[in-house]
Structure formats: C-alpha cells, structure tokens
Amino acid sequence: MRPLARFLSRVSILSAFALGTLGCDRAPSADGLKDWTPADHDGERKAPNTGPKGDAGGAPPLVELTWRNQCQACHGPVGHGDGPQGAMFKAQDLSREEWQSKISDAEIAASITKGKGKMPKFDLPDEVVKGLVVRVRSFRGR
C-alpha cells in the first residue's frame, strides 16, 4: 500500500472512531428535548396533510421530490435545460415564453407519462403529474 493511501486509511479509521466515541458520550439533553426513536419516525407519516409545502413555490413534497429525482438532471432546477445531463439529451428550456405559449397542459402531461424524444415515460400518480405540470408552468419567464 502506498504511504499516502496508508495515511488516509489510518486518518479515516481514527476519525470514525473519534466520532463514534464522541457521539456515545453525550449527556442527556438539558433543554428537555427527548432523543429520537423509530416510533417518532412513524408519527411523521401519520401527520395530517396541511396543504402544499416544499421548495418549488408551494409544490407538494412528492412533486418536489419527483422533480429533483426524475426531471432536474436534464431540465435543471428551474427548467432552463441546464441540468448536468441537459446538454447531452438536448433538454427543452421549459421557461421560454415561445415554448410555454404553444404547448397545452395536456401535452405537458402526455410528455411526462408517455415520454417524448429522448425523454423517457414516467409512471406517476395523476396528482404528481398535475403538480409537475403546475411546476413547469411556474417556470414561464424565469
């Protein structure tokens, strides 16, 4: 093993050990907050939906998550077609006024569910598709 690789290996092992021991020696919280348990996580799923939330102008979380995981790599964060794979696939700039004015909501939804050109089809619930259409419309003029 090379000296640098051996050094980095030792540093990473020591760092992991230090972090592990520091995390275990934590005193009980003085501010009255209890430690997280798996039961707390189950409570998150049961929380009532209080309306649209998320980063994309009030987009519901599932729409935002779908955009990030399925669309953003090509279309970019605000639809300019500037995602990391956008140039390779010649992704449409969804913010252009010319494009926005000539395409209908139904055509946008069809592109999402059936695919178009190099864009694959996505099997998504209707509510997510509708949310993505709203999100695409929100890019107009950005």
Type and span of the H or E element at 62: helix 61-66
With tokens 């569910």, the residue in question is 113
Domains of the chain, residue spans = 61-138
Three-state DSSP class for residue 117: coil
Give the pLDDT confidence score for residue 45 in this predicted structure.
47
Q: Do the beta carbons of residue 64 and residue 75 sit within 8 Å? A: no
Query: pLDDT tens-digit profile of 47-101?
Result: 444 334 444 445 578 999 999 999 999 999 999 999 999 999 999 999 999 999 9
Give the pLDDT confidence score for residue 135 in this predicted structure.
94
Q: Which superfamily, per CATH, for 61-138?
A: Cytochrome c-like domain (1.10.760.10)
Give the pLDDT confidence score for residue 19 in this predicted structure.
61
Give the pLDDT confidence score for residue 6 in this predicted structure.
75
